[in-house]
Every structure is written in structure tokens, then in C-alpha cells.
Structure 1
């Protein structure tokens, strides 16, 4: 199994990632987590790590500086930077230099697991003799969907966080007319392009709201799923779910507390 380490100054982030790795990944093994760069350096002296999840903004040795040290020690180690919107530009620059990818907080579980699949594929190419076969979740597929519709679905799932995502842009990339793409999706999925995009965004928001992250701002969730306006996000969420994002999070939190007792 590939070895993975988590370095973040937020205990909830470390616990959340660790639990997702243990519960859902058959390819990665958690080996340690650290609250800062200095603590990480102590751990890596005695072990090999294939994938590092590094928070960018940490006191002392920050994630970017730590990443440079790790790369000098083992150029093949993959580095994924974790960042909030306030430090997004740092992550953007880091990818140009040395990062494998980045995770933008708040992090949905689905995005995290997708990242692990991508990392497993890359590590398998680097170390073919250590290849770990990924056990992927079986996803529901629409029976008899055309190739264009499947590509449209995948494009939305990969780019739902882009506030400028549009039917026109997707259709151009898929080399089809926008009206044809939307009509075909409506016929085969029951949702037009925009309706399916909204469904993906709302479902991702629900996933984030159900996580134990009460400190996450609604504004950050709105931006995470591709909405520039928190007000528009709240209105769209209520229209599709029946309650506001704040009400939904409270309902889920109350339910968890009730289950504990």
C-alpha cells in the first residue's frame, strides 16, 4: 500500500482525512499526521512516504517550504497542498513548481477520494513493481447513455466548482452544439445541463454541511461549489432541498447528537 501523511494545524482536518483513508481507501495507508512542518520533519527521518497532504498556511515552517524539503529528500513523493480561499494563489503557484495537486477547503469526501484515485494511478506509473489495484466504488450509470452525455456528466463533476462553468463552454469542448447537448442530457438523464450542474452542486453542499465542520463559513461553501453569491447559493439550496443551508446543517447536527444518546 502507498504511504500517506497529513500535515495540518487543524485537528478536525487531520482526523477527517485520516478516517476517510482508513474507511474508504484500499490503496493508501495512513502512517502519521503532524500539526506543523517541524513535527513532520521529525517523522519523515525514519520512514518513506509516497503522498503528503500539506496545509499551506502554518506557523513556523509553512507548507510550501516543507514541500521543497520533502522534494529534495525524495523527488518521487507526491505533494498535495491544502488551502483556503485566502491562500488560493499560493496553491496555484505551488502547482506550477512542484505540487501534484491541491485541495481547496472545505473538502468534500468525494473530491478527496477522487484525488486518491488519481494519486494511485500516478504512483503506479512511478513504481510499477509496487502497483496497488484500486478498489473503486461502483457508480450508478444511466443505462444506455450516449458517449456525449457521459462526457457531459464527467465534465460537470470535474468542474462544478468553476463559477464560469457554462453549457456553452462544455459544448465547445465536447464539439457539439449547446442546444443538442442540453436536450440529449434531458432525454437520457431527466435533467438538462444546467439542472444536472445544480444537482451536483447542491449534493456537494449537502455533503459539506453534513461534515463536522461547524466553523466553515457559508460563503466558503458557496464559492467551493461554484457560486459567487452566498445569497444565490442559499436561495438555490432552499429551492432544491426545502431548507436553507444553515437549517440543513442544524438538522443534521441535531440528528447526530440524538443518535449519540
Structure 2
């Protein structure tokens, strides 16, 4: 079941789209309706939709600006623009934002059902994909934060305040969702990733590489703090770990 967010400032349009989705047999569930881009972003962090049906001309934050922010937060989101604006510059920007489709109002029911059919065929994962992609269980915000940590663990400024500002999401909300879904807090997951990377360096690096170098490679600015955290996690200091590992080679 793909969760759907409808973002349009016209209540009649939102109601009609929701009705059409409810009438068909494709695996979609409307989890939110927003009348502007700001509301849509709030719904995104709360309900983690996967499919976004978005109008362009909305107050406060327009559709294209919303999509631009959405793609930073949830890069794998499926986005369809449904608009009355047939302007080249809008379509050009939509292509750059990698939207799935660009439909012009008024949209017929048959065209809309065909759209849902195409999305179902392209994005509904089969059972094997469910097994292989463990991230499928995580909400949009947790997938994004987890992915950012996995790729940017070496950046010393990476902390909860930095992430909250980056994704424009409340710190306590991020912490709560990560604890619920990962079983680890933000700090616990970040520490886990950094220490596992440190172990890889210690196991493969030249024995002459300093502990300070190892610490900075995984995001710590203090060698002593890194050593304390490492020993607390594994019961052995990083230097001892490296020496014991290489002594068995």
C-alpha cells in the first residue's frame, strides 16, 4: 500500500482526487491533504507519504518549491504535478526535479486511473524486494537521517541540531522516530556508524597511522574522547584493538 499526500489549495480538487483514489482497486491510501506547501511539508514528516499529488499554484509555499524541499528530505518520493499551468518554465523545472508525471487540469477520471496503474506497476515492490530492501520499514524522515549519517559520519559538525536544521524538522521528533524505528537514538546510531568505520580503518590501515588520524576520519575532533567512546563500546582501546588485530595476521 502506497501512502498518498494530496497538496492543492482547492478543496473541491482535493476531495475529487481522494474520491477517485478510494473508488479504484489499486494499492493507494490517502494519508493527508494540504492546502499549501508548508502544510504539505508538515504532513510529510508526520505521515511519511510515498506518492505526492501536487498543484503548482499554492499560497505560502508553492508546489515547485515544496517539491524542491521534498526531494532533499525524501529523494525517492514519487511526485506527480497536477496543475492548470501549461508553462514551459514550470515543466522544465519539473523535469529537473524528476517528477513522475505532469498532468494538466482538468484531468479525466480515466487518465487519473491510468496514472495510478502506471505507478503501481513501476513502484509496487514484489516480495523479494521487500526482503532485500530493509529500509522499506522506515519512515521517510528516518530513512533520510539514517542515509545522511551513513554518508556523512566523518563530518565533525554532524549532530542532532545540525540534522534538525538541515531537514527542517523538530529535534525531539527525529529522536523519537529513530528510537521507535531503529531502536537507537540519533547519538547511538551515529556513534555506532562511526565506531564501525573506525574498526575498518584500524583493521586495514598502516600501523603507523596515529589514533588522532583515525578519530578525525570518523568525525571526532578529540582523540581522547574517541578512545573513551571506543573502549566503552568494545571494552578495549582503539590502539590495543589495532595491535591485537594485526598480531593475528
Max radius of gyration: which structure? 2
